């Protein structure tokens, strides 16, 4: 299963750093609107769902609009009851389910390249926090690192991976570029 990351990682060399990742479900766990949605709407009209959805599931649309399903919906459904939409949504955009990270054990590593096996920065050097999963912070992870993790590294593009490590199974849930920049004004 592929998972996605929203956001960009840009760290300033030799400074304490914090990154927040938003973990989304796979594309099969998405809603694609068939028309525009006005603010305050309580039903989304979507392309047929590929899977069942439960009441309380949270979906993030572009611009970080998060909506909550008020009633479950079965695979094949083309309308989804939701809590009132906070603002308008354009037609034909896709919203992805925010992954519930409750009970996850996470590892984070920074590598020189995606193929590298030994991390340059490993979880033991970092504070990894799963934020409150009951509200609009569902799917959010905060990774904090001290200045010592970057002070001796050259400024360049690296690769990061966020792993779920539960029940003897280690799977990546987010990955991508991790930019280390020189200190300065920009």
Q: How confident is the model at residue 186, as a pLDDT?
A: 52
Q: What span, in angstroms and rounded, lies between the C-alpha atoms of 70 and 111? A: 41
Q: Which fold has domain 4-24+100-181?
A: Immunoglobulin-like (2.60.40)
Q: Mind giving me the DSSP string for 61-75?
A: EGGGEEEEBSS-B-T
Q: Is 41 exposed, middle or buried (0-12, 13-18, 19+ CB in 10 A)?
A: middle
Q: How confident is the model at residue 150, as a pLDDT?
A: 93
Nearest to 13 by CA among 179, 150, 145: 150
Check if the beta carbon of residue 98 is closer than 8 Å to that of residue 58. yes
* R_g (Cα) of the chain, nearest Å: 19
Q: How confident is the model at residue 185, as a pLDDT?
A: 54
**For 27-97, CATH number?**
2.40.30
Q: How confident is the model at residue 184, as a pLDDT?
A: 66
- In three-state secondary structure terms, 28 is helix
Q: How confident is the model at residue 135, as a pLDDT?
A: 81
Q: What span, in angstroms and rounded, lies between the C-alpha atoms of 142 and 144? A: 7
Domains of the chain, by residue range, sit at 4-24+100-181, 27-97
3-state helix, strand, coil in the chain (%, to 5): 5, 45, 50
Q: How confident is the model at residue 166, as a pLDDT?
A: 85
**Per-10-residue mean pLDDT, the chain, length 186:** 42 90 88 94 95 92 87 95 93 92 93 94 95 88 94 94 88 92 71
């Amino acid at each position: 299963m592929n998972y996605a990351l929203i956001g960009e990682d840009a760290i300033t060399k030799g400074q304490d750093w914090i990154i927040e990742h938003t973990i989304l479900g796979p594309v099969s766990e998405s809603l694609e609107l068939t028309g525009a949605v006005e603010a305050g709407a309580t039903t989304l009209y979507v392309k047929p769902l590929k899977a069942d959805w439960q009441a309380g599931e949270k979906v993030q649309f572009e611009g970080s609009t998060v909506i909550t399903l008020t009633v479950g919906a079965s695979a094949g459904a083309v309308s989804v009851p939701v809590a009132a939409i906070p603002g308008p949504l354009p037609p034909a955009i896709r919203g992805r389910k925010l992954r519930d990270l409750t009970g996850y054990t996470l590892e984070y590593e920074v590598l020189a390249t995606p193929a590298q096996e030994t991390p340059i920065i490993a979880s033991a050097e970092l504070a990894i926090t799963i934020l409150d999963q009951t509200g609009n912070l569902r799917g959010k992870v905060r990774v904090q690192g001290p200045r010592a993790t970057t002070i001796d590294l050259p400024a360049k593009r690296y690769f990061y991976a966020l792993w779920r490590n539960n029940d003897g199974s280690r799977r990546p849930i987010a990955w991508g570029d991790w930019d280390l920049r020189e200190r300065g004004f920009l």
